[in-house]
Chain A
Amino acid sequence: RKEVEQDPGPFNVPEGATVAFNCTYSNSASQSFFWYRQDCRKEPKLLMSVYSSGNEDGRFTAQLNRASQYISLLIRDSKLSDSATYLCVVLGAGYSTLTFGKGTMLLVSP
């Protein structure tokens, strides 16, 4: 099982749609979890941290299920500007290494 695995993309959705990204991780000792956004040929940027209780930031909701080693990101009311690659990221035990998933590309069309 790969360390951090994400849905293969791309996801093509119309504006206004709700889209969900899933991610699984293999190391049960992982400490923290994040979603990053990366625009084409640009650096990744932290979108949000993921907490066990679930957390929301505007149109974005992140969930963590430690028992299933599963992380999700939900985007409601998609905008054209949401088009990007979304990376699932896991911080390992000992807070020493970040492992990135390969990313899922989202394309929002008018």
Chain B
Amino acid sequence: EAQVTQNPRYLITVTGKKLTVTCSQNMNHEYMSWYRQDPGLGLRQIYYSMNVEVTDKGDVPEGYKVSRKEKRNFPLILESPSPNQTSLYFCASSFWGGSKYEQYFGPGTRLTVT
């Protein structure tokens, strides 16, 4: 079964305490990405990766880091979280080639930074 998993699903933390949200996919997709979703702003892309060791900034990368050491994993790192990073985060894994397109999102991580 095609799957994107994220952990943790819910996290409450304090300002400045480093955290990592993990993301893993089992479809051998090359493209992975992170989004945040906020009321009234929709889904905004934070970072994306087109393959192992290839990452690039999306629309709102400030305050985030990512790494792609292996194809299946794409963790999101908040080195020093701040309250404005309180949001719902989604990881996604995608493939497109020819006429085929598929994309799967993880179930989301709800982060609260106090």
A: residues with CB less than 8 A from B are 32, 34, 41-46, 49, 87, 91, 95-103
Question: Could you tell me if A45 and B56 are in contact, using CB atoms closer than 8 angstroms?
Answer: no
Residues of A within 8 A of B40 (CB): 102
Q: A43-B90, A101-B42 are in contact. Are A96 and B50 (CB under 8 A)?
A: yes
For chain B, which range describes its interface: under 10, 10 to 19, 20 to 34, or 35 or more residues?
20 to 34
**Which of A46, A95, A99, A103 touches B103 (beta carbons < 8 Å)?**
A46
Report how far A34 CA is from B92 CA in the complex, Å.
15
In whole Å, how far is A44's beta carbon from the nearest beta carbon of chain B? Answer: 6
Residues of B within 8 A of A42 (CB): 107-108
Q: A32-B96, A96-B48, A98-B33 are in contact. Are A44 and B42 (CB under 8 A)?
A: no
B: residues with CB less than 8 A from A are 33, 35, 40-45, 48, 50, 56, 58-59, 88, 90, 94, 96, 101-103, 105-108
In whole Å, how far is B101's beta carbon from the nearest beta carbon of chain A? Answer: 6
Residues of B within 8 A of A46 (CB): 101-103
Report how far A46 CA is from B93 CA in the complex, Å.
12
In whole Å, how far is A26's beta carbon from the nearest beta carbon of chain B? Answer: 14
Residues of A within 8 A of B101 (CB): 32, 34, 46, 49
Q: A95-B96, A96-B56 are in contact. Are A45 and B45 (CB under 8 A)?
A: no
In whole Å, how far is B46's beta carbon from the nearest beta carbon of chain A? Answer: 11
- Which of B40, B42, B56 has most chain A Cβ within 10 Å? B42
